[in-house]
Amino acid sequence: MDLGLRDRVCLVTGSTSGIGLETARLLSAEGARVAICGRDAERVERARGDVHAAIGLVADLAEPGSPDELVAGVQSALGPVQCLVNNVGDAYEASFEELSDRQWEDMWQLNVMSYVRCIRAALPAMREAGGGTIVNVSSTAGKRPSTGMPNYSVTKAAVLSISRLVADLYAKDGIRCNAVAPGPTATAAWLAEGGLADQQARRTSRTREEVVRAVGAGRPLGRLAEPDEIASVIAFLCSDRASYVTGAAWSADGGTVPIIV
C-alpha cells in the first residue's frame, strides 16, 4: 500500500532508538526525506546510517530554543517540515510524594514543552503550504494515569490535550494533528539496564523477568508491543491514507485501556 509519503520532509524527534527509530525507518522506507535527532552525536550518526535518513541533527529539546533551531536546521537542509512526529520523552518510576518540583518541571519541559515548541516552529511553513501532519506520541498513562509514574502520566495527558487543541485550531489550514497512545513497548526504556523493568523490580522486590512477564500479561493481547507495531500506526497517521483523521487519540496498547474512545 502506497502511503503517499514519497519525498515528504518528515522530522521525528527522539529518533535514535525505540519507537522513534522504527518510525524514522518506516517513513524512510516509504520514500520520505527523514530528519532524525537526539542529544548524543554518536547515536544520531549511527541511527542515521541505520535508517538511511536524509539528515541527523543533535538537539536537546528540553532547552527552550532548541526546537526552533532544530526545525530551522531541517528546513535549511531539506525544505519545510511537512510531517512532524513528536516522540522525544522521558519516563521513570517514582511515588507522588517523593517527586520534587524540579523533577516535575524537567519532565514538563521535555515531554510537553518540546512538543509545543516544535509544533509552533513548524506551523508557519505548514500554513503557508496549505497543509501538514503532526503526530504526537502520548501513552496509555495519558488516558489512565500510572500511579507509579505520576509526572509522566500528567505530561502524557497534556500531550493528548495539545493534540486535540492543535487539530481544532489548524484544521482550516489543512493541518491534521493526532496523538498515539502506546502501551508498554519492548524498547530500551523498558528493557535496558536501569530501565522501567529494573526500576519496578527494585520497588516491588520482584526480578526484572517477573516484572516483564507481569506487564505483558496485563495486556489483553498478553505481551508488550514491538516498536514497529507502534511505528506502523504513526506512519499511517502521517500518511495520505489518514487524510480524514484529525483530533484523534489512537490507542496502540494491546487493549490495555478499557474504554471505547
pLDDT for the residue numbered 261 = 61
Task: Provide the pLDDT for residue 195.
Answer: 94
* Predicted pLDDT at 52: 86
Q: Is residue 81 in some structural domain?
A: yes
- CATH number for the domain including 96? 3.40.50.720
261 residues of the chain, pLDDT tens digit each = 789 999 999 999 999 999 999 999 999 999 999 999 999 999 999 999 989 888 999 999 999 999 999 999 999 999 999 999 999 999 999 999 999 999 999 999 999 999 999 999 999 999 999 999 999 999 999 999 999 999 999 999 999 999 999 999 999 999 999 999 999 999 999 999 999 999 999 989 899 999 999 999 999 999 999 999 999 999 999 999 999 999 999 999 999 988 766
Could you give the 3-state DSSP secondary structure of residue 141? helix
Marked catalytic residue, from 115, 152, 170, 244: 152
170 included as an active-site residue: no
Dihedral over Cα of 51, 57, 62, 68: its sign: negative
Q: Which of 178, 145, 175, 150 is nearest to 164 (CA)?
A: 178
Residue 219 included in any domain: no
Q: In total, how many domains does the chain have?
A: 1
Please state, in angstroms and as integers, the Cα–Cα distance from residue 111 to each residue in 28, 118, 257, following that order.
Answer: 25, 12, 21
What domain range includes position 68? 9-183+225-250
- 195 located within any domain: no
pLDDT given for residue 54 in this prediction? 86
Closest CA to 149 of 139, 157, 161, 141: 141
Residue 136 counted as domain residue: yes
Instruction: Please say whether the beta carbons of 48 and 68 come within 8 A.
Output: no
Q: Does 67 fall in a domain?
A: yes
pLDDT of residue 1: 74
pTM above 0.75, yes or no: yes
